[in-house]
Structure 1
Amino acid sequence: MAKTASDSVSLTRQAYALTDDLMTPNAAVYWVDLLISAALMWGGFLLAATTSSLPVGLVAGLISVLALYRALSFIHELTHIRDDEAPGFRVGWNVLVGVPLMTPSLMYEGVHNVHHVKDRFGTALDPEYLPLSRYTPLSLAGFLFVALLAPIGVLIRSAIVIPLSFLVPPLRRVLKQRLSALVINPDFVREDMAKMRPAWLVQDIACWLWSWGLIAATVAGVLPIRFVLTGLAIFSLATFVNQARTLVAHHWDNDGGKMSLDEQFLDSVNVPPPNLASELWAPVGLRYHALHHLLPKLPYHNLGKAHARLAQALAPDSLYHRASQKGLFEALTALFRRVAQKPAVVSRGPSAAE
């Protein structure tokens, strides 16, 4: 990737200076947002799974998809906040969202942080980066649609792999290193699971027991098949939307080499106002992905304020302004256009994103 004139250090310093008062998470905002999202997720699901009205079911299902996506997206915030900044939030999120969706916080904690390591971003050691702009259009489409299978994947992990791993030590190693991370880079191997945190073990066991409970209730006829199919559909659609969002979070132009801070920032994307729809398909601050890479400790509820300050205060020729895209479809169109114009690289295989 071609080098750019480096002003990222000064940009980072300016950004911190302009947003220093916005760095403290508001625990009340986190809790209220999560509780409302979880209520809409479960309420929409129950209505969609029980109503006899197709229009009502479709609307309820759509609400549940968007609410599930928003609630699940808090797993990203859990990697950046300390427990004392939002007391009980990590446990509450796992109880309301992580374990029921068999996607506990352990699958992102200690993983996403690697994506922010300066010397790993965009390289083969980055769990959340692939040279997607060098894929073929067919491979890129495969990357997008494979996300629909994510619910099946987490069910297999919880119901089969976790219990078997306690009986088969080699499988336990595979589970820890390869099957306990939400990544898009299939070659990524976790390096922090040798000393597994007690909380992570509890999360895994909880997912195992929850999955067996769901299967037993379904086989016994206690849980209607319609509930199961509705839940799978809602979960699949939410992960599909997230995968589409992942495609526009970066430009994916790096070929695996180390990137300068300028290049890392310019490879990332903001979708700021006036695009209001981005709050639905990139919730919990994900619409400000480039800003998040610039200031990773900035809590999601202050990203909008921070962006407004930076957009107003920074010079018109600042790198910051070059990171913005207009919307999801515009960014996806631009990505597929670049893919069609570039020679393809050998794909490392599509994998469901975080």
Structure 2
Amino acid sequence: MTSMTLDRAATAPVAGTTRIADDKAMLRAAADLTRELSQPKPAIYWADLVASAMVGYGALAVAVTASSTAVVVLAGIVAMLGLYRAMSFIHEVSHMKHGSVPHFRLGWNLLVGIPMLIPSFMYEGVHNLHHAKTRYGTVEDPEYLPLALMKPWTLPLFIVVSALAPVALLFRYAILSPLSVVVPSLRRAIVERYSALAINPQFRRRAPEGAAAIYWNRIEAAASIWAIALVAMVATGVIPLRAFGIAMLIASAVAVINQVRTLVAHLWENEGEPMSVTAQYLDTVNVPPPSLLPALWAPVGLRYHALHHLLPSVPYHALGEAHRRLTAILEAESPYHEASYPGLPGLVWKIGRSTMGRR
């Protein structure tokens, strides 16, 4: 869903990584050392997705039925982490050639996308724009805001507003989708503004065409039917209000942790100028081992976000090996090492300190 508009600080942009030339040695090494890592392994994808979904939904069932507050909280945390990992596969779906892992997109939509009301079309055709070399960090990038150059209050707002995502998604699919069938102007607005997992409020999505439009309509219809059924079951008491409230809180927690990850996924120091590939890399973040917690808050390869921007075709399960190879061969002076950070607190402090200087 598109976020609300965040005001930019009335100060000059930071030069930061904007005018950095490409480091050809790093780019060449990244391409040469990882060629054979680009093939996804279907067994890993399916096992990981199914296991994550089973843990998430199983813990969710415990959380909504338990009478003990301690059990509800513990199961809720496990459910949040499991569902968050399962939902994070939407990132892989948006990058993969679907024939390389047959039926995975459909399986993900049935297991996660439709039940959690984030069908794959909300990221497919959107996320690839973020990776376009001429769009990254510009007003045409749906996943970029110069957060480091904005006013301090925008950061907590950026996080807090994400907690409303489950309610917004339920409204979008239970109410707006059916209405848009008979109101063409509403349909245009929904497609342009409420059908993308984007943070740039200026982004407007183009309507899908051909096979993409057919697939979109089918998956959206399924998500809409599920959303309407969910509302009806809560309204008629089939799903107790307490259970529904707990489930929504867990879904909100998933949205918040993902928004926190988004907050530290980039340095957000570009204010609209085109950037070199190396500059884009340095504006992005790796949180590699030995840190352990990123495996939870940046799952499915997202801890190697900067490396992913260098090698977007490498599947998540191979990014660790790619990072080890590049770390071993590139000299200490290589900009490759500059995108690695030890953990979440330092990254939050870094962007917070940047905004505090722009009151």
TM-based fold match above 0.5: yes
Which of the numbers 218, 228, 231 marks the counterpart of 2:244? 228
Which of the numbers 201, 223, 227 marks the counterpart of 1:186? 201
Tell whether 2:85 aligns with 1:39: no
Shift of 1:144: 1.1
Deviations 1:52-88 (A, max 9, x none): 2222221111000011111110000001111111111
Deviations 1:20-42 (A, max 9, x none): 11110001100000000100111
Which of the numbers 247, 255, 261 marks the counterpart of 2:271? 255
Which of the numbers 310, 318, 324 marks the counterpart of 1:308? 324
**Cα contact 1:272–1:287 (8 A) shared by 2:** yes
Aligned equivalents of 1:182 and 1:9: distance in 2? 33
Tell whether 2:74 aligns with 1:59: yes
One-letter code of the match for 2:313? K
Tell me which residue corresponds to 2:95. 80
Aligned equivalents of 1:132 and 1:194: distance in 2? 33
Aligned equivalents of 1:88 and 1:145: distance in 2? 35
Deviations 1:306-348 (A, max 9, x none): 111111111111110000111011100111011112x35xxxx
Tell me which residue corresponds to 1:144. 159
Shift of 1:192: 4.7
**Cα contact 2:21–2:279 (8 A) shared by 1:** no
Shift of 1:238: 0.7
Tell whether 2:43 aligns with 1:28: yes
1:1-354 alignment, distance < 5 Å? 1=15, 6-195=21-210, 196-341=212-357, 343=358
Structure 1 stretch displaced more, 186-195 or 143-152? 186-195
Tell me which residue corresponds to 2:7. none
Provide the secondary structure at the position in 2 that maps to 1:137. coil
Gaps of 5+ in 1: 345-354
Deviations 1:122-179 (A, max 9, x none): 0000000001001111111101111000001100110111001110001111111111
**Cα contact 1:269–1:324 (8 A) shared by 2:** yes
Aligned equivalents of 2:165 and 2:132: distance in 1? 27
Backbone CA RMSD of aligned residues: 1.2
Q: Cα distance 1:133–1:220, how it changes in 2: closer, same or farther (>3 A)?
A: same
Shift of 1:51: 1.2
Provide the secondary structure at the position in 2 that maps to 1:36. helix
**Cα contact 2:191–2:206 (8 A) shared by 1:** no
Matched length? 343
Aligned equivalents of 2:254 and 2:349: distance in 1? 21
One-letter code of the match for 1:262? T
Shift of 1:5: 5.3
Aligned equivalents of 1:162 and 1:61: distance in 2? 30
Aligned equivalents of 1:180 and 1:172: distance in 2? 10
Aligned equivalents of 1:212 and 1:143: distance in 2? 29
Structure 1 stretch displaced more, 195-204 or 161-170? 195-204
State, as a whole percentage, how many aligned pairs show the same letter: 47
**Cα contact 2:20–2:279 (8 A) shared by 1:** no
**Cα contact 2:149–2:355 (8 A) shared by 1:** yes
Aligned equivalents of 1:152 and 1:203: distance in 2? 19
Aligned equivalents of 1:161 and 1:292: distance in 2? 35
Shift of 1:194: 4.9
- Tell me the TM-score normalized by structure 2: 0.93
Aligned equivalents of 2:243 and 2:261: distance in 1? 27
Aligned equivalents of 1:192 and 1:308: distance in 2? 41
